[in-house]
Chain A
Amino acid sequence: MTHLDDERLLDAAEGRLERSAVAHLEACASCRAQVSELQNVLAQIALVQEPAPSPLFWEHFRERVSAALEPVSPRSAFGFRWLSAASLMLTLALVTIAVFGTRSRSGPGDVPLVRAGSPSAQQEGVEVLGEDQAWELVRSLAGDLDYDAAREAGVAPGPGAVERAAAELSASEQAALIQLLEQEMKRTDS
Chain B
Amino acid sequence: MSPFARDGGLTRVDNVEEAATDRELVRAVQAGDRAAFDALVRRHERQIYRLCYRFVGTHEDASELAQDAFVRAYRSIGGFKADAAFATWLYRIAVNVCLNRKALKVAPLDSLGDAERLRSTAECPDTALVRGEEEARVRKAIRQLPEKQRATLVLRAYHDLPHEEIAQVLGTTSGASKANFFHALKNLKRLLRENDER
Contact of A45 among B41, B116, B188 (CB under 8 A): B188
| Residues in chain A near residue B63, CB distance under 8 A | 57, 61
| Cβ B67 vs Cβ A64 within 8 A | yes
| Residues in chain B near residue A181, CB distance under 8 A | none
Binary contact track A7-31/B, C-beta < 8 Å → 1, others 0: 1011001000000000000000000
The segment out of A71-79, A93-101, A168-176 that lies at the interface is A71-79
Contact of B78 among A45, A49, A58, A74 (CB under 8 A): A74
A-B pairs with beta carbons under 8 A, tally:
123
CB distance from A149 to the nearest CB of B (A): 10
CB distance from A184 to the nearest CB of B (A): 19
CB distance from A65 to the nearest CB of B (A): 5
| Cβ B30 vs Cβ A74 within 8 A | yes
CB distance from B147 to the nearest CB of A (A): 14
| Cβ B34 vs Cβ A69 within 8 A | yes
- In the complex, A56→B118 CA distance in Å? 10
Residue picked from B46, B74, B79, most chain A C-beta under 10 Å: B79
- In the complex, A74→B77 CA distance in Å? 6
| Residues in chain A near residue B185, CB distance under 8 A | 10, 13, 38, 41-42
CB distance from B132 to the nearest CB of A (A): 10
| Residues in chain B near residue A41, CB distance under 8 A | 185, 188-189, 192
The chain B residue sitting closest to A59, CB to CB, is B9
| Residues in chain A near residue B75, CB distance under 8 A | 72, 74-75
Contact of A7 among B74, B109, B178 (CB under 8 A): B178
Q: Is there a chain B Cβ closer than 8 Å to A46's Cβ?
A: yes
- B-side interface size class: 35 or more
Task: Check A68/B71 contact, CB under 8 A, given A7-B178, A46-B157.
Answer: yes
| Residues in chain B near residue A53, CB distance under 8 A | 49, 59, 116, 118
Q: Is there a chain A Cβ closer than 8 Å to B42's Cβ?
A: yes
The chain B residue sitting closest to A66, CB to CB, is B38
| Cβ A75 vs Cβ B79 within 8 A | yes
Q: Using a Cβ–Cβ cut-off of 8 Å, how many residues does chain A contribute to the interface with B?
A: 42
Q: Is there a chain B Cβ closer than 8 Å to A186's Cβ?
A: no
- In the complex, A41→B76 CA distance in Å? 38
Task: Check A72/B71 contact, CB under 8 A, given A53-B59, A54-B119.
Answer: yes
| Cβ A54 vs Cβ B78 within 8 A | no
What 5 A-B pairs are tightest by C-beta distance, nearest first?
A80-B79, A75-B78, A80-B78, A57-B116, A6-B182
6 more A-B residue pairs beyond the given contacts A6-B179, A46-B157, with a C-beta to C-beta distance below 8 A: A10-B185, A51-B59, A58-B46, A61-B49, A65-B41, A72-B71
Residues of B within 8 A of A (CB): 29-30, 34, 37-38, 41-42, 45-46, 49-50, 53-54, 59, 63, 66-67, 70-71, 74-79, 109, 112, 115-119, 131, 134-135, 138-139, 142, 153, 157-158, 171, 175, 178-179, 181-182, 185-186, 188-189, 192
